[in-house]
Structure 1
Amino acid sequence: MDTHKTYTVNEAKKRLERYCAYQERCYKEVTQKLYEMRMIPEAADQILLHLIENNYLNETRFAQTFARGKFRTKKWGKNRILNELKLREISKFNIQIALKEISEKEYYNTFEALAEKRLQQLTSEKNLQKKRKKFADYLFYRGWESELVYGKISEIS
């Protein structure tokens, strides 16, 4: 027996309005949710249109919020943010808008602070090559650009 709850279009609309109001969502997340709710394609399209028209679903706003949030809280560099937005099928146009949310000054200050913090954590590493590798891996994983990372590595002695 199938135990999945079925939803009317109006119930699904209300549920997805709450889903989108709780936190910014991208189109991909909402279509996934509709799929999980087993909505037929016609109903899903109707609900998506409703969410977009009523500004519950806004890809540009999602991308901007995502970029700001991941940069400020997780200290991600632009490469990581870019890749994560691509994974969510955000358009190139919206990705460019999102990356403009991060000021150059704040970006470099954050990089410097993160690099310094990581160097402090690596003071016990005596092998210079290992220290440089651990340092680089840490920053690359977070999506910082190679010219920034290699510039910092050259300062490590």
Structure 2
Amino acid sequence: MKDAWNILLRYCSYQERCKSEVIKKMQQIELPQNEFEKLLSKLEEANFVNEKRYTKSFVNGRYKNKGWGLIKIKRTLLQKGIDTNLIEQVISEEIETEDYTQKAQTIAVKKWKSIKGKTLLERQAKLKMFLMRKGFEFSTIQEVIQSDIFR
């Protein structure tokens, strides 16, 4: 039990973790199922696991550093078992609407230089697909594509 606690402390100290990641780690170290709740509660009390802090860190990292859109961020957090209300709250606190469109524009301009295609429409279609894979909404993509830069 003490070894498991130390392993989990190191695991949670390295970077922000959500509950599902900690549970997965507990399964990897073959901890008995009946210990999961007790250790998870202890980690939360000691503030090693904090879903809001994790969500903030995740949103900022993926949005600012990796250039992910809201769709991809939300989908990934939901897959990790984060509450929908918490996701919405953190996104509204951390991402400004004007900044979001500007971010999509910046990413699109950078990608546009490397997109090959015979026609303008073909290049625009490739750019749309790229932005969709990044997780941007169709309305944001349309707004970006309609700017003079991509004509």
Q: Compute the TM-score of the two structures, normalised by the length of structure 2.
A: 0.91
Equivalent position to 1:51, from 32, 43, 51: 43
Matched, 1:23 2:43: no
In terms of fraction of residues, the more helix-rich structure is 2
Corresponding position of 2:90: 98
Structure number with bigger Rg? 1
Structure 1 residue 104 displacement after superposition: 2.6
Corresponding position of 2:120: 128
Structure 1 residue 133 displacement after superposition: 1.4
Equivalent position to 2:74, from 67, 70, 82: 82
Q: CA RMSD in A?
A: 1.4
Q: Compute the TM-score of the two structures, normalised by the length of structure 1.
A: 0.87
Secondary structure in structure 1 of the residue aligned to 2:8: helix
Corresponding position of 1:119: 112
Secondary structure in structure 1 of the residue aligned to 2:113: helix
Give matches, 1:134-145, under 5 Å: 134-145=126-137
Secondary structure in structure 2 of the residue aligned to 1:144: coil
Structure 1 residue 105 displacement after superposition: 3.4
Structure 1 residue 103 displacement after superposition: 2.4
Q: Distance in 2 between matches of 1:109 and 1:151?
A: 10
Identify unmatched segments of 5+ residues in structure 1: 1-8
Letter in 2 for 1:15: I
Identify unmatched segments of 5+ residues in structure 2: none
Corresponding position of 2:143: 151
